[in-house]
């Protein structure tokens, strides 16, 4: 029977290089107070022995855990998973966060928390006690929850608030939602549309109002009224269908709709088709997020492309920089969205004489 190969540990590296465990740990963590010749010596032993750093070894250099905790909304995430509707937002968040963590020897831990729960403080404190994270990523609506942000600030834990511009502790990051909605609306205006409806997202999310403001600003700049053109949704398919029904039933019909999520846009697309309306012939449609359902719909939907992976990677980098004592920006960080123009938008039909 072949003998199992003994795992190479930080102690083996220290012995081979003739240095202390703490010195090896400082090299692993890329700390600035290591002489170049010492770093080269330790790195040569790491390469020779095939050593793979562990979190335990990293922790020897100080009090850091090398863990970052990402929190997402429990109810909405589980509902999407259960209904098999896909959670591209979560996937992209994990992509950006995990890759950036890996660059710096960190690990990303993903947890679901109900922001409306009476037990949220106990849940969060339990996770912090168990994991002792160096930082926390907050996504909407957690990023605007003063109980969560206040608790993290009291604990002295570095954290990033994605989709939040409220004053207070933590790094604020957005994807330029107001500008993105304005970009989507201006695209439709440039095509010749004047009656442009907007389906808003969940009011619990600050970004929902930003998107409404972007649409309103673009319409006002073009001298267009918005009085009856705003419909409320909650990002889900059912709410999108109800909102689209109201917009399509207006006496002066809309010729275009901007929906604040792909699910609501898909509901609008399918409702239009059921009513015998052509997209984009009778109705142009712009979506938000650009998940696979937007790209693989028929026709493929023009959509605001949310840079979720990029903003999450930036948030992780800010947390790591703060923990390392490096300089970080004071104001909000904006990673702007873009617009992918596809087959769901076109000029409106000329009025019949």
pLDDT-derived band of residue 6, with 50, 70 and 90 as boundaries?
A: low
Across 139-143, 193-197, 209-213, 216-220, least confident range: 139-143
Using alpha carbons, select from 151, 217, 162 the residue that is nearest to residue 189.
217
Is residue 45 over pLDDT 80?
yes
How much is the pLDDT for 5? 45
Tokens 């409404």 locate to 212
Report, as an integer, the average pLDDT of 236-261: 95
> Rounded CA gap, 140 and 148, in Å?
12
What's the order of all strands across the beta sheet hosting 171-174? Answer: 107-113, 67-73, 135-138, 158-162, 171-174, 333-334
Taking the C-alpha atoms of residue 342 and residue 344, their distance in angstroms, rounded to an integer, is 6
What structural domains and CATH numbers belong to the chain? Answer: 10-59 (1.10.260.40), 67-175+308-336 (3.40.50.2300), 177-306 (3.40.50.2300)
**Which residues have a Cβ under 8 Å from the Cβ of 233 and sit 6 or more positions away?**
199, 200, 201, 202, 239, 240, 242, 243, 259, 260, 261, 264
pLDDT at residue 32 tops 90: no
> Higher-confidence residue: 7 or 100?
100
Q: What is the pLDDT of residue 87?
A: 67
Provide the token pair at 195. Answer: 């009656």
Q: In this predicted structure, what is the pLDDT of residue 3?
A: 40
Percent of the chain with pLDDT over 70: 92
The structure tokens listed for 31 are 């700390």
Q: Residue 2 has what pLDDT? A: 42
CB 256 within 8 A of CB 197: yes
| Closest CA relative to residue 196, chosen from 223, 233, 229 | 229
SS (H, E, C) the chain: CCCCCCCCCHHHHHHHHCCCHHHHHHHHCCCCCCCHHHHHHHHHHHHHHCCCCCHHHHHCCCCCCCEEEEEEEHHHHHHHHHCCCCCHHHHHHHHHHHHHHHHCCCEEEEEEECCCCCCHHHHHHHHHHHHCCCEEEECCCHHHCHHHHHHHHHHCCEEEEECCCCCCCCEEEECCHHHHHHHHHHHHHHHCCCCEEEEECCCCCHHHHHHHHHHHHHHHHCCCCCCCCEEECCCCHHHHHHHHHHHHCCCCCCCEEEECCHHHHHHHHHHHHHCCCCCCCCCEEEEEECCHHHHCCCCCCEEEECCHHHHHHHHHHHHHHHHCCCCCCCCCEECCCEEECCCCCCCCCCCCC
Question: How far apart are the C-alpha atoms of 88 and 73, rounded to whole Å?
Answer: 14
Mean pLDDT of the chain: 88
Spacing of C-alpha 292 from chain mean position: 16
Cβ-based neighbour number of residue 343 at 10 Å? 14
CA distance 181 to 211: 5
Ranking 23-27, 64-68, 244-248 by mean pLDDT, the lowest is 23-27
CA neighbor of 187 nearest in space, from 280, 309, 88, 307: 280
Q: Which comes out higher in pLDDT, residue 349 or 193?
A: 193
Span 49-67, pLDDT tens digits: 888 766 555 555 556 788 9
Q: How far apart are CA 180 and CA 259, in angstroms?
A: 12
**Has residue 295 got a pLDDT over 60?**
yes
What is the per-residue pLDDT for 58?
A: 53
What is the percent of the chain where pLDDT is above 90? 54
The more confidently predicted of residues 191 and 83 is 191
Asked if pLDDT for residue 13 goes beyond 60, the answer is yes
- The Cα 78–Cα 87 span in angstroms is 9
- State the Cα–Cα distance between residues 236 and 76, nearest whole angstrom: 9
So what's the pLDDT on residue 53? Answer: 66
pLDDT for position 47: 87
Which of 126-130, 251-255, 289-293 is the least confident region?
A: 126-130
Q: What is the pLDDT of residues 75-111, one digit of tens each?
A: 878 877 887 766 688 889 999 999 999 998 899 999 8
* Residue 293 clears pLDDT 70, i.e. is over it: yes
Length of the chain: 353
> For position 226, what pLDDT does the model report?
95
Which residues, other chains included, contact 122 with Cβ-Cβ below 8 Å and sequence gap of 6+?
Answer: none
**For residues 255-263, average pLDDT:** 96
Up-side HSE of residue 274: CA atoms within 13 Å toward CB? 10
Of 77-86, 163-172, 228-237, the range with the highest mean pLDDT is: 228-237
For residue 33, is pLDDT > 90? no
Asked if the model's pLDDT at residue 341 lies above 90, the reply is yes
């Amino acid at each position: 029977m072949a003998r199992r190969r003994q795992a190479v540990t930080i102690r083996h590296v220290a012995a081979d290089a003739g240095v202390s465990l703490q010195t090896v740990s400082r090299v692993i963590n890329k700390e600035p107070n290591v002489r170049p010749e010492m770093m080269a010596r330790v790195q040569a032993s790491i390469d020779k022995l095939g050593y793979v750093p562990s979190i335990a070894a990293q922790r020897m250099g100080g009090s850091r855990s090398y863990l970052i905790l990402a929190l997402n909304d429990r109810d909405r995430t589980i509902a999407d998973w259960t209904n098999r509707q896909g959670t591209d937002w979560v996937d992209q968040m994990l992509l950006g966060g995990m890759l950036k963590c890996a660059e710096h020897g960190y690990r990303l831990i993903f947890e679901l928390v109900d922001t409306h729960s009476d037990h949220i403080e106990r849940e969060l404190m339990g996770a912090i006690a168990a994991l002792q994270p160096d930082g926390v990523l907050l996504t909407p609506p957690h990023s605007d929850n003063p109980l969560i942000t206040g608790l993290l600030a009291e604990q002295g834990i570095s954290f990033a608030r994605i989709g939040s511009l409220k004053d207070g502790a933590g790094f604020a990051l957005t994807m330029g939602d107001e500008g993105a909605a304005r970009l989507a609306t201006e695209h439709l205006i440039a095509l010749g549309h004047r009656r442009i409806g907007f389906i808003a997202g969940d009011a619990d999310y600050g970004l929902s109002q930003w998107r409404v403001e972007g649409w309103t600003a673009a319409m006002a700049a073009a001298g267009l009224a918005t009085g009856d053109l705003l419909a409320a949704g909650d990002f889900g398919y059912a709410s999108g269908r109800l909102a689209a029904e109201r917009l399509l039933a207006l006496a002066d019909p809309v010729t275009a709709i901007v929906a604040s999520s792909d699910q609501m846009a898909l509901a609008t697309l399918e409702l239009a088709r059921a009513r015998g309306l052509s997209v984009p012939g009778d109705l142009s449609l712009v979506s938000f997020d650009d998940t696979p359902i937007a790209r693989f719909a028929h026709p493929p939907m023009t959509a605001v492309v949310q840079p979720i992976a990029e903003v999450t990677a930036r948030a992780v980098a800010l947390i790591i920089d703060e923990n390392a004592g490096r300089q970080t920006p004071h104001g909000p960080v904006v990673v702007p969205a873009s617009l992918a123009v596809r087959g769901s938008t076109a000029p409106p039909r000329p009025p019949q004489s």
